[in-house]
């Protein structure tokens, strides 16, 4: 963690609710996408458009489908727990995509707190992958 000064142990991170992990993971994924696009963006609006396209629920659901077979058992468990979170209401992307995107974000949040090198590895698997 940047501000807390230490990474969390796996057992500490597992005490955090999947919804909170997803909230953190959403911010981390947006930052990753902004860093990835910063040199190629012509303007702030262009950067925002590219980031939002990659960070939408439909695309994150696709990214989860791409990486799920390569996850460690502990990571797959975080994904399973987060996929069971009920949606707070109707979503544009649909219930299945929303649950998958929440699971993807929870995984990103979990790895941000516990294992940055593994986080970088998984995020690198997602580059170049995008929903139509």
| Tokens read off for 44 | 């702030």
CA angle 88, 93, 98 (to 5 degrees): 50
What are the helix (H) ranges across the chain? 10-13, 18-37, 44-55, 57-67, 73-83, 95-114, 116-126
Indicate which residues carry an active-site annotation. 26
The residue among 81, 58, 31 whose CA lies nearest residue 130 is 58
CA–CA distance, 55 with 105 (Å, rounded to integer): 10
């Amino acid at each position: 963690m940047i501000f807390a000064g230490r990474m969390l142990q796996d057992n500490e991170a597992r005490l955090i609710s999947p919804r909170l992990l997803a909230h953190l993971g959403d911010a981390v994924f947006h930052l990753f996408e902004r860093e990835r696009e910063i040199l190629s963006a012509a303007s702030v609006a262009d950067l925002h458009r590219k980031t939002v396209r990659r960070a939408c629920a439909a695309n994150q659901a696709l990214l989860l489908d791409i990486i799920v077979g390569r996850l460690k058992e502990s990571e797959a468990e975080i994904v399973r727990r987060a996929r069971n979170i009920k949606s707070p209401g109707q979503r544009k992307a649909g219930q299945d995509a929303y649950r998958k995107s929440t699971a993807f974000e929870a995984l990103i949040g979990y790895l941000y707190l516990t294992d940055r090198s593994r986080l970088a590895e998984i995020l690198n698997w997602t580059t170049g992958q995008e929903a139509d």
